[in-house]
Amino acid sequence: MDWSLATSSYLVFLCLIQLFARFSRVSAVEADALTAFRNSLLDPNNVLESWDATLDDPCTWFHITCNSERSVSRVDLGNANLSGQLVPQLGQLTSLQYLELFNNNISGRIPDELGNLTNLVSFDLYLNSLNGPIPDTLSRLQRLRFLRLNNNSLSGQIPVSLTTVSTLQLLDLSNNHLTGQIPVNGSFQLFTPISFDNNRLQLLPVSPPPPISPTAQSTRVGSSATGAIAGGVAASAALLFAAPAIVLAYYRRKKPQDNFFDVPAEEDPEVHLGQLKRFSLRELQVASDNFSHENILGRGGFGKVYKGRLADGSLVAIKRLKEERTQGGELQFRTEVEIISMAVHRNLLKLLGFCMTPTERLLVYPYMANGSVASCLRARPDSQPPLDWPIRKRIALGSARGLAYLHEHCDPKIIHRDVKADNILLDEVFEAVVGDFGLAKLMVYKDTHVTTAVRGTIGHIPPEYISTGKSSEKTDVFSYGVMLLELITGQRAFDLARLANDDDVMLLDWVKGHLNEKKLEVLVDANLQGNYIDYEVEQLIQVAVLCTQGSPSERPKMSKVVRMLEGDGLAEKWEMLQKEEISRQELNHTHHHPNTDLLIADSTSEIRPDSLSGPR
C-alpha cells in the first residue's frame, strides 16, 4: 500500500511538472510574439510600457487578457495612438479570441500568419493605414464573428473563401481600395452593400461556395474516424489528470488574484448589441469639437451632454458619462447599453450607438431640435412662442405612453426614477420623447419590483422613496404627476423664489394650497394667456392628483394613466376618490381627528377632491 501511494504521488508530481513546463513554454512563445509586435511599433504615449521582455508571463502586462490556462486570449490596443506594422509572430497567439487594434496608425500588410488564430472571435483593424490584399488565410478563422477592416487602404480582391466562415455576423470592408466582385454566397448573403461601400467593387453572380481548405477537411475526417479511440483515451486519461488538476486548482487559489482572465463570449457587448454603431472616441471628439464647452447641451447626474455633427452631416447628442472607476464599471455599462437598445418606442429616446474605452463611456442619441420640456417652459428665447395648450396635452400623453412601455413592455422592467420636465425631450414636431431612462436601476426582483438606491430630483421624489429608499413603478407615477403640474403651471417643481411671496417652495404643495380657492387662472401658466379649455386643464390636474397620492398602492399604473388621458375611466376614478375622501373626513370627525386640511405633507393625500369639479 505504501508503495502504491508513493507511486501515485510520484505520478502526480510528474504530471504537475509537465503541466507547468507546458504553461511556461506557452507563455514564453506568446511573450516573444508580443515583444516582436511591440518592437515594430512606435508608442508615443507609452501605452506598452508594462510589456517587459524580461518577464515571460504576458498575463501581467496591461492591455493583455489571459484565459484560465494562462494563454493570451485578448489584445486590447484600440485608440492607443500606435504606429508601425503587424508582425507574423502574432500568428503564434493560438488561443487569441479578440484582436482589438482599431483607430491607430498601423500600416503595412496583414500577415498571412494571422490565419493561424483559429480561435479568433473578433478581428478589429478598422481606422488604420493598412495596405495590400486581404489574406486568403483568414478563411481558416472558422469561429470569427466580427471582421472589421474598414477605413484602411486595402487593395485587391475580396477572397471568395471568406464566404465559408459561417459564424460571421458582422463584416465591414468599406472605405478601402478593393476591386473585383463582391461574393454573394455563404455567409456573405447576410451583408448589405454598406459593408462594401466606397470601394471599386461589383456584385458576383451566385455560385456554390468554395470548399474549405484540404487541411481543414482532412482534420474533420480524421477526427470523425478516430472519435471512438479519442473518447476511450480521454476517459482513461481523465483519472490520471484528475489529481494534478485538483492540486493545480488549489495552487491557483493560494496565489494572489492579480491575473487577468478572459471575458466569456456571452458577456461581450458585441454579441448582444445588434446593429448599434460602435463609435470610436476619435469620431466623437471630431463631431463635438473635442467636447468643447460651446457644444454643451446640458448637465445631469450622469454627466454632460454635447451637441455633435457626424461625418455624414447628421446632428447627434453625445452623453459623456462620468467614470465611476468601479470594478464592475465596464460590465455595468454593457448592461445599460443592452437595455437601452432593447427599449424601442416612438416616445422613448432611441440609442444610435456608443463608445467604450478604458477611460471613456459615451452614448450617442439623435439630436432633439426643440430641446426639453423644461427649456421650452422656462428658458425659451423671445423669438420662440410658448408651448400652446394642445402641444402640452400631447406631451402629457406621449410621455405617459413612453413610461408605460418601460414599466410593462420591457423585460426586465425599467424604473426611470428621475421623471421631470428636463428629461422629456421634444422632436421636430414637438412629440414627447422620454430620455435618460436606460441609466436607471433595473427592476429585477420578481415579486417586490423594487430597487434601493435613492435617486431623483427634489420636488419629484415621493415620500415613501425618501423614507425607505425603495422605489417601484409608482415612484415614476408620482414624479410624472409632478411633471404634469410643471406642464400646467410652467413652474419648477422646487423653487426657492416662491418664498418671496410666502408660498411653498414645492410645486406640489403650492398647487395644493391654491386648489381650495378654485381659481384656475392662478394655477395655469400665464404664458398661455388664457388660451386653454378649462375642463381639460381640470382633467389634467385630476390626473396629477391621482398620480401623487401619498400611498403608492393608491396611484394608478402608467397604462391606466394613458387610458385616463385618452378619456377612459378618469370620471369613475375621480368619483371613487371623492367618496373615499368624504368617508375619511367623516371618520376623522367622528374620532375628533384634526382637520386634515391643516396638515402639510409632501404628497396630495390630503387634497380634497371636491376642490376640483369633475369632468363636464
At 131 the three-state DSSP class reads strand
**CATH no. for 15-215:** 3.80.10.10
Of 337, 332, 327, 345, nearest to 362 by C-alpha is 337
For 33, the enclosing helix (H) or strand (E) is helix 2-39
Predicted pLDDT at 4: 52
Q: How many CA atoms lie within 13 A of 274 on its CB side?
A: 13
Tell me how far apart the alpha carbons of residues 289 and 278 are, in angstroms, rounded to a whole number: 19
CA distance readout (Å), 166 to 138, 183, 433, 517: 13, 14, 40, 73
Predicted pLDDT at 187: 86
Of 519, 127, 68, 55, nearest to 259 by C-alpha is 68
What backbone torsions phi and psi does residue 325 show, to the nearest 5 degrees?
Answer: 60, 35
- Catalytic, 268? Answer no
Place of cell 483519472: 239
Predicted pLDDT at 567: 82
Place of cell 468599406: 174
Considering the chain, tell me which residue range(s) the CATH 1.10.510.10 domain(s) occupy: 371-611
End-to-end CA distance of the chain: 98
Q: Residue 458 contacts by C-beta under 8 Å, 6 or more apart in sequence?
A: 493, 494
User: How remote is the C-alpha of 561 from its chain's centroid?
Assistant: 28
Q: Is 203 exposed, middle or buried (0-12, 13-18, 19+ CB in 10 A)?
A: exposed
Q: What is the pLDDT of residues 65-75, one digit of tens each?
A: 888 788 898 89
Predicted pLDDT at 455: 65
Considering the chain, tell me which residue range(s) the CATH 3.30.200.20 domain(s) occupy: 274-367
Predicted pLDDT at 246: 38
Q: Is 342 exposed, middle or buried (0-12, 13-18, 19+ CB in 10 A)?
A: middle
Predicted pLDDT at 248: 38
Tell me how far apart the alpha carbons of residues 283 and 52 are, in angstroms, rounded to a whole number: 32
Which of the following is catalytic: 268, 418, 436, 476?
A: 418
Predicted pLDDT at 540: 92
Tell me how far apart the alpha carbons of residues 417 and 474 are, in angstroms, rounded to a whole number: 10
- One-letter amino acid at 86 equals L
Beta partners for residue 303, in sequence order = 300, 321
Predicted pLDDT at 351: 87
The answer to whether the annotation marks 512 as part of a ligand binding site is no
The DSSP call for residue 471 is B
Predicted pLDDT at 470: 77
Considering the chain, tell me which residue range(s) the CATH 3.80.10.10 domain(s) occupy: 15-215
Q: Are 515 and 607 in contact (CB under 8 A)?
A: yes
What backbone torsions phi and psi does residue 215 show, to the nearest 5 degrees?
Answer: -60, -45
All cell numbers assigned to 195: 459593408
Class for the domain spanning 274-367: alpha beta
All cell numbers assigned to 448: 417586490
Predicted pLDDT at 142: 93
Farthest-apart Cα atoms in the chain, separation:
103
Q: Are 305 and 319 in contact (CB under 8 A)?
A: yes
All cell numbers assigned to 138: 483568414
* Parts of the chain with a pLDDT under 50: 1, 3, 5, 10, 12-13, 15-25, 206-272, 325-327, 441-452, 592-611, 613-616
User: Per DSSP, which regions of 101-138 are E strands?
Assistant: 105-108, 122-124, 129-132
Predicted pLDDT at 184: 85
Predicted pLDDT at 209: 44
Q: Are 469 and 463 in contact (CB under 8 A)?
A: no
Class for the domain spanning 371-611: mainly alpha
CA distance readout (Å), 13 to 3, 6, 27, 201: 15, 10, 21, 60
